[in-house]
Structure 1
Amino acid sequence: MTSLLALALFSVCEAASYRTIGSSGCAAQMVFVPPYTDTVVFLDNYHRNFGGPGVDLKTGAHSKDPFMQDNGLWAFGVEYEWRTNDLRKLTPKSNTFCAAGAFAPDGTLLNVAGAELYSGDAKTTNLEDGRQTVRRYEPGPCDIDGCKMDFEVNTNELQSRRWYPTSITLTNGDVLVVGGSDVGLLVTNEASINNPTYELIKADGSQAPPQKNLTILEFGAEDNQNADMSFNLYPILQLLPNADKADHVFTLAGNRANVYNYATDEIVKELPNIPGGPRTFPGSAAAVLLPLKAPENEPTILVCGGSSADIPNPKALGDCYRIKPNDQNAVWIRDDWLPNGGQTMIEPVLLPDGTIVMMNGAHRGSAGGYQAEDPALQALIYDPNAPKGQRFIKSATSEIPRMYHSVAILLPTGEVLVAGSNPDVFYNPVGNVSLANPKWPEFQNNGHKSYLHQQQEPDTAYPTEYRVEIYAPPYMDKVGSRPIITAFPVSVKYGEQFKMAAEGAREDVVVRLSYSGFHTHGVDMGARMVQLEAVLSTDGDYIIDVTAPADASVMPPGVYMLWVIEKGIPSEAVWVKLEA
């Protein structure tokens, strides 16, 4: 029996695959999927760029031609059409380096914050400081000649400068922006530049209330080298389903956690510190809200990997923990270990079959420029419903290292788009740390020597990476038997019962709704999924009776991917608007 199980497991692993499909046009530090389109949008720091047509998809060698906007600036925002691999240059108008993103209820992406200008050898005329900017990118659909939308800048700026903040959408459609640093181009935050506040961007465009302090982000100068507190950039935020239908948000910064109501500015519940050290940047663990299931919608947070608080060389962590934050006595419970050992900068992606694929990152070090070594090339699939001890399956292996500044995101096909990797932060066709930093392993942080070391070895090289891959999960091996959605509503209201049709949906049918979110630095802002109440209808073949999410704490208002899954095999998704 043991050998048969092993063979079965091996066959599942072999079914998944990576394939290289195109070039990203810019170093893909951030990514999102504009609703109603066949595109993704990549964003980067502003610097030189040779990632346009001409990239060698086999070797990764860069194009010989500069990839620039029509105004003479280097391209650092690109629309990528993943069915045709076409590129379209975008104009973000200010430096988007290490920004955040969340969707408005109509599907518009709000890309917030960024960095100051770093001129170097890149022209910066007509480019603005991005730390207080709010950029809007509208959804599709696009016309027959392709998409035409581009970034527009909000009149209302952020109330303070933010680099490495996190943003999510709240129950009323407002966008929450939390934390960050006052200045950029650093690895560890410090008290003098910490921004321990949060603010709102109102869904109706009105003036937001003044920003407020957030205790979980606060620390003094005496704790600058206390990683449990100062490793607090890109805090982890997850809106939690709750009986009050309120803005209860799981918040994790460093190793500290709570549930916070950002609408009323109060702590709902203090949670225990997560064991093992800090899990936010540069600790950079994978953290997800596990797929919800109606009608209970009981939230569970999973945190895997990241980096320890060992100074000066943090170690990649291999542990995983779960917590049910709504439980009266919520505790962190040890889950299965990562099967390939410690892994930091993991990119987790919720798949429509209810599993999570974890990919990218490294087996040594932490997040940050040249801070890591030993790339994690093998994808892992985590099944939250499998028995403990059997939740991870080793999946396909890529040949392309995806180190610091890499991304992955779910496409409506059910595949995962993978791109990026740029440990240098700026353009570097070689990616050798000893060439970039003669003082290796020491480096500067906020104008002085960092208490961390760069852990990339002097003889390895991870250049700016432009190749784009598609990861096909195991269910893509069965595309011939996929259900096909043939009828569906374009919009539904909370709690509404509706009908849809999916050819091939005969038995063991599941319907899920998902947000791909905004992905950067292993933080999947807003990504969530719910299994809806659904039964095969008596009204005819392939008709399904479905109930929309109960309220906005389960899924905030927005435009979602709707999936039909039969016997574990998902359809392609369709876009559905969820509204009050």
Structure 2
Amino acid sequence: MTVTTQSLLALALFSVCEAASYRTIGSSGCAAQMVFVPPYTDTVVFLDNYHRNFGGPGVDLKTGAHSKAPFMQDNRLWAFGVEYEWRTNDLRKLTPKSNTFCAAGAFAPDGTLINVAGAELYSGDAKTTNLQDGRQTVRRYKPGPCDIDGCKMDFEVNTNELQSRRWYPTSITLTNGDVLVVGGSDVGLLVTNEASINNPTYELIKADGSQAPPQKNLTILEFGAEDNQNADMSFNLYPILQLLPNADKADHVFTLAGNRANVYNYATDEIVKELPNIPGGPRTFPGSAAAVLLPLKAPENEPTILVCGGSSADIPNPKALGDCYRIKPSDQNAVWIRDDWLPNGGQTMIEPVLLPDGTIVMMNGAHRGSAGGYQAEDPALQALIYDPNAPKGQRFTKSAISEIPRMYHSVAILLPTGEVLVAGSNPDVFYNPVGNVSLANPKWPEFQNNGHKSYLHQQQEPDTAYPTEYRVEIYAPPYMDKVNSRPFITAYPISVKYGEHFKMAAEGAREDVVVRLSYSGFHTHGVDMGARMVQLDAVLSTDGDYIIDVTAPADASVMPPGVYMLWVIEKGIPSEAVWMKLEA
């Protein structure tokens, strides 16, 4: 077991922030439709679909006014992938090469991000010369650590690696490190899926680089043309997937598509358990509810799924939903149980982020409408904190308020500092410095979907404007007001094996100490692919001050192999995270 130490320098960098606050720190370099944190770095990577871009240096951080200079790659393509250094706010252009519009992502065991799928070559009014079709593309982005003068990695792109064309699929990492890719549509630039273009299949990307088995059909995603306007069936894009801890250490995955749910074993291609339909209608795109696996706790690691908000199946005007439900999918008679209501009313396109203190912050989205281009109105500006361990009726707390609307195509993600990076918003889908629906669509509220008139109406009002947004914010959770008394990890193993007992040290860890391991995941469209957290068995050691005896997760169904953030929490106040690899 190799042990490393870290400098006290990082502790001071965020010591001046106020609790439960938003602050604007930089510009994103592209509209932030997708985001992930490459392990061993102080960066995030933003991805967007391909279109014109004025989000580089020169964005006015107060007003949001765009830069006057186009932000382009060296090959004369507009920048649509950007590395953002969140300590310095520096930007580095990346080259995804193929259209990443509404792609998916999951991490390989070594921390490489596997970014899959995308869209055709449409790009608004931007030329697509040198751009590749993204629908069968796999892009790999390696982790750090980076050189002292910065990161140099870029996407390694294979345009025909997927077995079929996918737009709006979901990906997660399985117990052996393989990446699972589920669902999607055969074509893009639509809001609702249809039977003729539906892709009700799944496939694997093998962790060892070997050839994947043929893709397989997935019944929960199937529907016929007679159900094209049945939202419970056709609202099935970006299905919700959560790997569940289980005694068999198998690939048992909670799967939610529309309003239908089950536990599926994607390694053996069989249903493990049918689950009841979630009440209230479909919760996947464009229904777009917040869905998370609540933080696990060793040794039981009992999984609970929380689903909040989203949009109703009302046609032509979906309504934002304010209800929340929990289910324990491993229970013999699993049922959906009504939880606390969202305190600010209905909210769709919520970004849920697991925080190291065991709570969940929910932010972004809107109080009216659904996901999709110009499909929402009334931005949700206030963050909400959900405490899963609080008594029922007391689980939500209202938190800080942002001044920046974060509508369709916005993101939020946990940083190793314990803060949340927030970016994006682009209801037009393509570049639009105004964001007024009546200017963009003279036929409002009607619009085209897959070549014909949609059965939904656009929900943005004709007199409001939500332009392409480039400003980046940091949300500081309530525990950040104790930043000067945070524990500080001074020694830890850089890698551990499942079930291994190990020691670590954290200055300031004196009592009521908790150790957690977390994935930030790949975030897009309110779907947090692979995001998960577990509280490890941990006790203060008798070997000396600040020494903690810890036990790694029992098996890969609890946390699949990969590179994780390791946290020490004392009296509810988390340290900054360090990176630790978990392997078989």
Q: TM-score, normalised by structure 1?
A: 0.98
**1:470 aligned partner:** 474
Counterpart secondary structure, 1:13: coil
Counterpart secondary structure, 1:251: strand
In 2, Cα distance between the equivalents of 1:360 and 1:328? 35
2:337 to 326, 333, 336: 333
In 2, Cα distance between the equivalents of 1:79 and 1:304? 31
Q: What is the CA distance between 1:125 and its match in structure 2?
A: 1.4
Q: Residues 3 and 78 (structure 1 numbering): CA distance in 2 closer, same or farther, change over 3 Å?
A: closer
In 2, Cα distance between the equivalents of 1:123 and 1:540? 64
Q: Residues 542 and 180 (structure 1 numbering): CA distance in 2 closer, same or farther, change over 3 Å?
A: same
Counterpart secondary structure, 2:371: coil
Confirm or deny: 8 A CA contact 2:411 2:524 kept in the other structure.
yes
Q: Residues 14 and 315 (structure 1 numbering): CA distance in 2 closer, same or farther, change over 3 Å?
A: farther
Confirm or deny: 8 A CA contact 1:13 1:396 kept in the other structure.
no
Q: Residues 120 and 397 (structure 1 numbering): CA distance in 2 closer, same or farther, change over 3 Å?
A: closer
Q: What is the CA distance between 1:15 and its match in structure 2?
A: 3.2
In 1, Cα distance between the equivalents of 2:254 and 2:299? 20
**2:3 aligned partner:** none
In 2, Cα distance between the equivalents of 1:210 and 1:457? 46
In 2, Cα distance between the equivalents of 1:290 and 1:360? 19
Counterpart check, 1:23 vs 2:27? yes
Q: Residues 480 and 12 (structure 1 numbering): CA distance in 2 closer, same or farther, change over 3 Å?
A: closer
Q: Residues 286 and 6 (structure 1 numbering): CA distance in 2 closer, same or farther, change over 3 Å?
A: farther
1:426-465 residue CA offsets vs partner (Å, 9 max, x unmatched):
0000000000000000000000000000010000000000
Confirm or deny: 8 A CA contact 2:18 2:480 kept in the other structure.
no
Counterpart secondary structure, 1:488: strand
**1:414 aligned partner:** 418
Q: Residues 5 and 393 (structure 1 numbering): CA distance in 2 closer, same or farther, change over 3 Å?
A: farther
Confirm or deny: 8 A CA contact 2:568 2:575 kept in the other structure.
yes
Confirm or deny: 8 A CA contact 2:124 2:430 kept in the other structure.
no
Q: What is the CA distance between 1:120 and its match in structure 2?
A: 3.9
In 2, Cα distance between the equivalents of 1:232 and 1:375? 24
Confirm or deny: 8 A CA contact 2:522 2:528 kept in the other structure.
yes
Q: What is the CA distance between 1:12 and its match in structure 2?
A: 17
In 1, Cα distance between the equivalents of 2:167 and 2:237? 8
Q: What is the CA distance between 1:122 and its match in structure 2?
A: 1.2
**2:286 aligned partner:** 282
Aligned pairs for 1:301-316 (under 5 A) are 301-316=305-320
Identity of aligned residues (%): 97
Structure 2 unaligned runs (5+)?
Answer: 1-5
In 1, Cα distance between the equivalents of 2:283 and 2:517? 28
Q: What is the CA distance between 1:155 and its match in structure 2?
A: 7.4
Confirm or deny: 8 A CA contact 1:74 1:123 kept in the other structure.
no
In 2, Cα distance between the equivalents of 1:4 and 1:331? 48
Confirm or deny: 8 A CA contact 1:14 1:396 kept in the other structure.
no
Counterpart secondary structure, 1:404: coil
Q: Residues 318 and 133 (structure 1 numbering): CA distance in 2 closer, same or farther, change over 3 Å?
A: same
Q: What is the CA distance between 1:254 and its match in structure 2?
A: 0.1
Counterpart secondary structure, 2:14: helix
Confirm or deny: 8 A CA contact 1:13 1:393 kept in the other structure.
no
1:452-488 residue CA offsets vs partner (Å, 9 max, x unmatched):
0001000000000000000000000110000000000
More displaced stretch, 170-179 vs 123-132: 123-132
Q: What is the CA distance between 1:8 and its match in structure 2?
A: 28
Q: Residues 491 and 272 (structure 1 numbering): CA distance in 2 closer, same or farther, change over 3 Å?
A: same
1:166-188 residue CA offsets vs partner (Å, 9 max, x unmatched):
00000000000000000000000
Confirm or deny: 8 A CA contact 2:501 2:552 kept in the other structure.
yes
Confirm or deny: 8 A CA contact 1:13 1:474 kept in the other structure.
no
Q: What is the CA distance between 1:154 and its match in structure 2?
A: 3.6
In 2, Cα distance between the equivalents of 1:3 and 1:115? 43
Q: What is the CA distance between 1:108 and its match in structure 2?
A: 0.1
Aligned pairs for 1:7-86 (under 5 A) are 15-86=19-90
Q: What is the CA distance between 1:160 and its match in structure 2?
A: 0.1
Counterpart secondary structure, 1:7: helix
Confirm or deny: 8 A CA contact 1:232 1:254 kept in the other structure.
yes
Confirm or deny: 8 A CA contact 2:489 2:505 kept in the other structure.
yes
Q: Residues 385 and 11 (structure 1 numbering): CA distance in 2 closer, same or farther, change over 3 Å?
A: farther
Q: What is the CA distance between 1:119 and its match in structure 2?
A: 4.2
Q: What is the CA distance between 1:121 and its match in structure 2?
A: 2.4
In 2, Cα distance between the equivalents of 1:313 and 1:195? 26
In 1, Cα distance between the equivalents of 2:208 and 2:127? 36
1:76-134 residue CA offsets vs partner (Å, 9 max, x unmatched):
00000000000000000100000000000000000000000014421211110000000
In 2, Cα distance between the equivalents of 1:326 and 1:119? 44
Confirm or deny: 8 A CA contact 2:17 2:480 kept in the other structure.
no
In 2, Cα distance between the equivalents of 1:12 and 1:21? 14
1:278-319 residue CA offsets vs partner (Å, 9 max, x unmatched):
000000000000000000000000000000000000000000
More displaced stretch, 152-161 vs 25-34: 152-161
Q: Residues 303 and 454 (structure 1 numbering): CA distance in 2 closer, same or farther, change over 3 Å?
A: same
More displaced stretch, 145-154 vs 411-420: 145-154
Q: Residues 13 and 227 (structure 1 numbering): CA distance in 2 closer, same or farther, change over 3 Å?
A: farther
Q: What is the CA distance between 1:4 and its match in structure 2?
A: 38
Q: TM-score, normalised by structure 2?
A: 0.97
Confirm or deny: 8 A CA contact 2:136 2:159 kept in the other structure.
no
1:448 to 430, 447, 452: 452
Counterpart secondary structure, 1:479: helix
Runs of 4+ aligned structure 1 residues displaced above 2 Å come to 2-15
